[in-house]
Structure 1
Amino acid sequence: MRYMATYDMMETIRNTNQWLGASALALGSYPAFSMVPNPTIEWMRAWGEVTERTFQRMIVKPDWNIPPVVGENGTDCVVTMETTVERDFGDLLHFTVQGRTPPKRKVLLVAPMSGHYATLLRSTVISLLPDVDLYITDWHNARDIPVSAGKFDIEDYTLYLVDFMRELGPDTHVIAVCQPAPLTLAATAYLAEEDPDAQPKSLTLIGGPIDPNATPTEVTDFGHRVTMGQLEELMIQRVGFKYKGVGRKVYPGMLQLSSFISMNAETHMLAFRDQIARVARGEAAEHDKHNKFYDEYLAVMDMPAEFYLSTVDRIFKSGEIARNEFTVKGKAVDIGKITTVAVKTVEGTKDDISAPGQCIAALALCTGLPDSKKASHLEEGAGHYGIFAGKSWRTNIRPLVLDFIDANSAPEKATGANTGTNPRGAASGKPKSAA
């Protein structure tokens, strides 16, 4: 019960701050104060507006808000979302562009389950929609999943991906962003042995911790520094009485958010101070840069406790994927069994979450894959967010990924060269990517 009490205490604090913000906004907007303009009242109103919005966004799942796609005849085609596969812990969504013949490229975008909703990849989705028939994994907030649905750890996650790939068929190209990269690689290897005909055509891994110890970061250091007992005691709580998942053990989104913010506390503090000043001066807008970023950044979701703990233990501490010793339901998953799926890795030189070297380790694990079906790209000057949603993604990485997909869309008997670059070269023992 003490964990449920802690969860409800955090929700009470959030709710109270939202109420204080709303109260300050209402008081500062009182018509009588307009008779005697006072900068203090303006600042109180501005503080209330920013505070209410900030704490309210923490429990709201953002809308996709996908703009229309320009059709072949120049008309705007509305984008709708349909659930292709519905499961307890996550769905497979399909972005349907009305009035358009589906492109030949069919892509499964695997979103992270790392504290934020799949909408974190909104800009990635928008950039891909004009050129691909796009599907995405939409993971659910654990607080809304009844305890009767059972557990969900990294093995269950892997099997979800296996089912999604089977549903979409062998003409699919998979793109995994960040956290799901090692488990997507494992799911592909699982299919290679269990159901080869359901394997995707290609697999692109972007900034994922395949081998976290290849280039340690603050994230990997934390994983080694704490014990599993400490993690479970400090991070895991039971969902409170307000939600459907009451009693479920989770790593709360609010606790995750406090960790995110603490990593760059001064930057966030200055951002909110400046936003309050802009609101007070009447320079802010509903969809300004600050609100667009923080509406997404502050919207956090609870992770199932089993998933969080097994990720830290088996991916970061034990390195089961990096050592090719991962198992699913007691069955060994051999990444060397991948022999036909082209694999490409993407990294950024300034990525402080999954540093260069962690993701490209996937190519060395694919011992059964010829060098002609391996590719890698290292984006100069790009951080973690930039390699899948920023300027680097739009201008450099996205075209390379689409070229890689096209190069591996032909029937297996007509295997072509892959597009990509490997800045490490053959001298390091890493496979070269074909031009």
Structure 2
Amino acid sequence: MTRFAPADSLWAATAPQPPKTLPLEASAKADVAIIGAGFTGLSAALHLAQKGVSVIVLEAMEIGHGGSGRNKGLVNAGMWVLPDDLPATLGAPHGERLLNLLGDAPSLVYELVARHHMQCEAIRNGTLHLAADKSGLEQLRIRAAQWQSRQAPVELLGAGETARLTGTNAYAGALLDRRAGTIQPLAYARELARAAIEAGATVHTLTPALEVRRKGTDWCVKTPAGDVTAHKIIAATNAYTTNLWPELRAELVFLPYFNFATEPLPASLGNTILPEGHGAWDTKKVLTSFRKDQTGRFIFGSVGMLEGMDARVHALWARRRMEKLFPQLKGIGFQKSWYGMIGMTDDHLPRFHQLDENIFGFSGYNGRGIAPGTVFGRVLADFATDRISAAELPLPVTEPRPQKLRNIQEAGIRHGASALHLMRSFI
């Protein structure tokens, strides 16, 4: 979805300027063409360029325009699926392989930030998954035990320590995951692009890929004013896939997610909320998330679109819910608001697709885009250069499978979230 521009977001207001890029206006050649300049495409471009591979990235809008520039900025490990369920769902060896890859995925993010001196507010001191009730606490207890059995640095906190680290007594406990952290997501995308360009990649923005067709043993990607001929193509559009490969869109149910950001809080007030700078979200089905940025703005979010009447409903709910959790924020206004789309698969796991000979990519990140997108980009670079085979991938090669009643599911999510937030605004 592109109607609600990321320029309205806090991230666009505080990110460093992107590297200079231009639309493609000629014919060009590369070993690999990448469609999409988000975390996955830019990570793939960086790792390919570092291997001496010629690579061209085509982005229909601007760097990080899609989910990469619209999300919360939590650099989480793993997926929503419980650790023990991954091997059970995917089988061996893919389940354990994906679990190990994503369990350590934040490390690659922070290694790249340090190596390339990225200015993106990167903080790695853990995230808090908050138990909204007794049922949520039991869910977190199971998750903690499964990660601890794999020697992951996670800890189940009691209500008292959770209150100390959040600044609210609303939660029964929390799972502290020290592998994780926070980042300014649009800044990270722009800095990934800068690093990729410095390594030798070419990035063209405002250059939608209109058509992909055969050209001998290569592929030709047609754009409005030019074309790129490449031997291999990486599809890195995920939930923001449009005209190309509609089968990718068909297997994803869109879950809209919004964020509101306050004015910078005075230190005396900001220090009472998330005093150690963690990012947090709760166990409710229609969840609530919150964090702060480096200027002390409080960022509060949940499921829903900021369009039409929905925008008013969610804004009312966000203010009242924020003040209920943190009474000290009463009267603090929101300065920025934005939303984006999360692509949800039917089993909440990502997919790897071979869309045609030498055309491939990952999709379906289910709300975990930053760390998985970064490591999947590296995997795609290895696969494109034959450093790993299809049998060594972290996911099996599958055909896209459309979700049944997708439009009805998406309407239910949108209107259900609005109805729930409207009801809770007056409770």
Task: Tell me the TM-score normalised to structure 1 length.
Answer: 0.24
Higher strand share: 2
Which structure: larger Rg?
1
The answer to which structure has the higher helix fraction is: 1
TM-score with structure 2 setting the length: 0.24
